Structure 1
């Protein structure tokens, strides 16, 4: 209300309507409330704001804040840190931006948990020498790789501006007007896409972002962690589903640590053990059971007695071993290969797979009763591409961790580089992201990296799936379109069926991978997902088909 009245008052002051101004000035001061002390009254009809700043500009800035808050003025205030910019504090505050003014530049690097992290860093450079400004910008980008740095440099030369941008500055304000600086800062904050999301996630999980060695800011992952806490102390078998690199073994270890079991955590990668030896590995054998059995062997079940046995790559277990495993789960006993006695064991079994077991059951390569026995409790670990907030958080986490590990300076990250991180599908999930960050640290220490560098660091991994998809696309079976057409069918129905057929082909070619299927179809992931919903298609129908 008071903003609209201020606007009318501004128009009246420009058009010399003293009667309206005399009536409006007290009303504006009344409605402004806490903002009243920011006005300066000159006579009975002249009202200025922020020490003489143009009133209509103040109204425009305030209206932009109102628009950013969704039409409702809130207490949400964005924090920026500044050196030498104290005179801009009042006008920044009018735009919903709180300036934390620093007395010297060293304070940029002395952070405290009591201070709100900045959305932007402002530096008034006439107080600094050119070389000092260059070094400061470079150091700030290393200290705050995701925070924009703005230089306020009235009447600076072109050489200074080029050097500033080369060191990683977001913008250089050449005007000496406070309004121009406020406009630049306001625009930068509005356009920021990654840092706000990180700050919001930090507020959501201020207590901790770790769970038994796992690091995440994703609500889906924290739902999974809470489920782990609830089921950890039970003895029920657990089946963990998820793509490669999502951290299934870490989830299993977390369950063991929370279970209170005193025995060991034993791991068996079922895909790495030859079929003829897996029986002996799991259940052990007696001396002379087969050629080469020179002494008794306990087997992993007995090694894990009182603890947990983790079976990774479960779908690789041969059928003849599956029956013995099922009997052990039901009876709680094992019989070593070549032995005659049943030996009791107290083992909790946790299994993991990245394959669809129901498909294996249909193919006859996996026992249905074993699948049900193992999935008394099952956990699904979401892939990294489906929890975008974790991409940025884990990237920052690995960047800090690996920079300290190799004792190397962190690179300065530009927005388009982060855009590349979010747009990539990460088929190798967290493991691939960690390896990517390691390459980044080792090859681009103390450099400013952009989307071009992202493509170079990613190398052949970024385009391999795309080239394969293109080759498959060239071999698309267009002849199948003829089979869905029948006499009397209108074009709308035909195109609907043709679209569904095309979606199924893309999903089948990419084994249910939505991101790759969208790339194959030549549309965005969002559009492809919307079409899947329209045709009632689920990615699970096409996993490893």
Structure 2
């Protein structure tokens, strides 16, 4: 969540920024109202903290501008002690709240966190509990959903496993205005002999083991939405019957000749290339075109890196409540690696790893000892960094003086960094990259070890050389 802070006192601006960075906010600082307006134009801010005593345009005037042009942004005005008249005017002008200087960190933290919870609840209620943070590419998909959902045309949702295709489907149902249920079925999880009765229902005694009348999912989803997950795995023989349902809006239960009219909106999803299935005669081309009237392609999480931090903090909050923990966030180096990690399992993998980390973490901040990657995190240029550089042992007792700086302090620093890198990497590998254990054994605090790792360019999962 983006927090704009407008205060011309650098020390106050810095202190508030640091406080909310630790709370997991993305903080944008401005030192005048004019700069704050520019920041608002450049960023999609969620909350604003504005000081009243600003040079030029004062805080009340800036509040008026914000409420006129960005009416959804809650604004907290900071006033001097005893400025009740200013506070009252601020509330009348649309301020969410005001705080008088001097103030306790706990007070402003609680006020802002209350706004965050209120905003999150509001947006979740509007999006069917889909979530709050979207990258630009996801925002475009959400906008498209809002446009097409009120029609009855089928929608095909594609994307890798774990990208949130079912949540997209739920959002489509939420925006459709349909009063019926959202019903979901995984077409790959139902045996071929049973999926027809699951979808269309069955009369008593129509198949072996039938105990009575079975109401199918199409009937259950009447006036609602039926989501066919993994549609690419649907048996080819059943596809013709599904095509007829889409065309005629009617079904027949297994073992019956009676036609039942239904009004279920059909959404389908797959993580495979259906066009390849068509070429191999495993999927009907006519069904594909009937389903693919609107196509929503959900990008993998590695292409939505701006969401990772916000999703991760959201999952921490969820699992803090579930497991009665009070974890505040992630070590900065770990968070950088999380953002650059490939996340082949996408949001599902991220959520599972954070749940595991929350369970085993005994600190306020999750570090490498609690959240382990299966492979090295990628750097921004896509390559794995930070293999240690060994000493050159070809000349003069291991030092090639012809290639090192002539200045004593520079030369010593260079080899000191090489020693630090090799020494730390050796012990990290020896302790299976348990940072806390390594720090304890080499006599450093965990924070000091992280600082040294950052200084010499060590990230994680690289071999000692």
TM-score, normalised to structure 1's length?
0.48
User: What secondary structure does 1:271 align onto?
Assistant: coil
1:341: how far off?
2.2
| Residue 407 (structure 1) shift | 2.5
Q: Distance in 1 between matches of 2:266 and 2:26?
A: 46
The correspondence for 1:369, drawn from 268, 286, 307, is 286
Mapped pair 1:212 → 2:93: no
Match of residue 23 from structure 2:
144
Q: Which residue of 2 aligns with 1:518?
A: none
Distance 1:101 1:247 in 2: 38
Contact kept, 8 Å, 2:341 with 2:376, in 1: the verdict is no
Structure 2: distance between partners of 1:286 and 1:407: 48
Task: Confirm or deny: 8 A CA contact 2:327 2:366 kept in the other structure.
Answer: no
Task: Tell me how far apart the structure 1 counterparts of residues 339 and 191 of structure 2 sit (CA, whole Å).
Answer: 39
Partner of 2:18: 120
Once the two structures are TM-superposed, the CA of residue 252 in structure 1 deviates from its matched residue by 1.3
- Which residue among 100, 125, 139 is the counterpart of 2:12? 100
In the alignment, the residues of structure 2 paired with residue 296 and residue 213 of structure 1 have an alpha-carbon distance, to the nearest angstrom, of 34
- Contact between 2:146 and 2:172, CA under 8 Å: does it hold in 1? yes
Q: When the two structures are superposed, what TM-score results if normalisation uses the length of structure 2?
A: 0.56
The C-alpha deviation readout for 1:198-254, integer Å capped at 9, x for no partner, is x95545997566432122231111111111111111111111111111211111112
Closer, same or farther: CA 202–437 of 1 in aligned 2, 3 Å: farther
User: How far is the alpha carbon of 1:101 from its aligned partner?
Assistant: 7.6
1:447 CA displacement: 4.3
Contact 2:313 2:329 (C-alpha < 8 Å) held by counterparts: no
Distance 1:332 1:294 in 2: 27
Q: Does residue 290 in structure 1 map to residue 204 in structure 2?
A: no
Question: 99, 124, 144: which is aligned to 1:227?
Answer: 144
Query: Is residue 2:284 matched to residue 1:405?
Result: no
- Return closer, same or farther for 1:202/1:398 CA change in 2, 3 Å cut-off: farther
In 2: Cα distance, 1:380 partner to 1:228 partner: 12
Match of 1:457 among 371, 383, 390: 371
For 1:328 and 1:98, the matched residues in 2 are separated by: 66
Shift of 1:273: 0.5
**Which has the greater radius of gyration?**
1
Instruction: Using the TM superposition, give the Cα deviation of residue 99 of structure 1 relative to its aligned residue in structure 2, in angstroms.
Output: 2.3
The 3-state SS of whatever aligns with 1:311 is: strand
The residue that corresponds to 1:11 in the other structure is none
Q: Which blocks of at least 5 consecutive residues in structure 1 are unaligned?
A: 1-77, 82-92, 103-107, 109-117, 122-139, 149-195, 466-545
* 1:512-527 to 2 correspondences below 5 Å: none
Q: Name the structure with the higher helix share.
A: 1
Taking the aligned partners of 2:171 and 2:262, their CA distance within structure 1 comes to 22
Which of 237, 253, 272 pairs up with 1:336?
253
Alpha-carbon distance, 1:432 to partner: 1.4
Within the candidate set 154, 167, 174, 1:257 is matched to 174
Q: SS in structure 2 opposite 1:224?
A: helix
Once the two structures are TM-superposed, the CA of residue 288 in structure 1 deviates from its matched residue by 3.0
Please give the per-residue CA displacement for 1:103-142, whole angstroms capped at 9, x wherever unaligned.
xxxxx7xxxxxxxxx4436xxxxxxxxxxxxxxxxxx99x
Change (3 A) 1:203 1:296: closer
Aligned pair in 2 of structure 1 residues 228, 146: CA closer, same or farther (>3 Å)?
closer
Counterpart CA distance in 2 for 1:146 and 1:336 is 53
Quote the Cα distance in structure 2 between the aligned partners of 1:144 and 1:349.
Answer: 41
- Partner SS state of residue 323, structure 1: helix
Contact 1:271 1:317 in 2 (8 A): yes
1:354 Cα shift? 0.9
RMSD across aligned C-alpha pairs, in angstroms? 3.3
Sort the Cα spacing of 1:332 and 1:449 in 2 relative to 1 into closer, same or farther, 3 A.
closer
CA drift at 1:326 = 0.4
Aligned to 1:350: 267
Offset at residue 291 of structure 1 (A):
2.5
The answer as to whether partners of 2:340 and 2:377 remain within 8 angstroms in 1 is no
Partner of 1:381: 298
Give the drift of 1:422. 1.3
Q: 1:324–1:407: structure 2 CA closer, same or farther, 3 Å change rule?
A: same
What corresponds to 1:320 in structure 2?
237
SS in 1 for 2:174: helix
Q: Deviations over 1:382-434 (max 9, x none)?
A: 11110111011111222233223322221553321111101211111112111
SS at match of 1:279: helix
Say yes or no: does 1:236 pair with 2:149.
no
SS of the aligned residue for 1:458 comes to: coil
CA drift of 1:289 comes to: 2.3
Cα deviation, residue 381, structure 1: 1.4
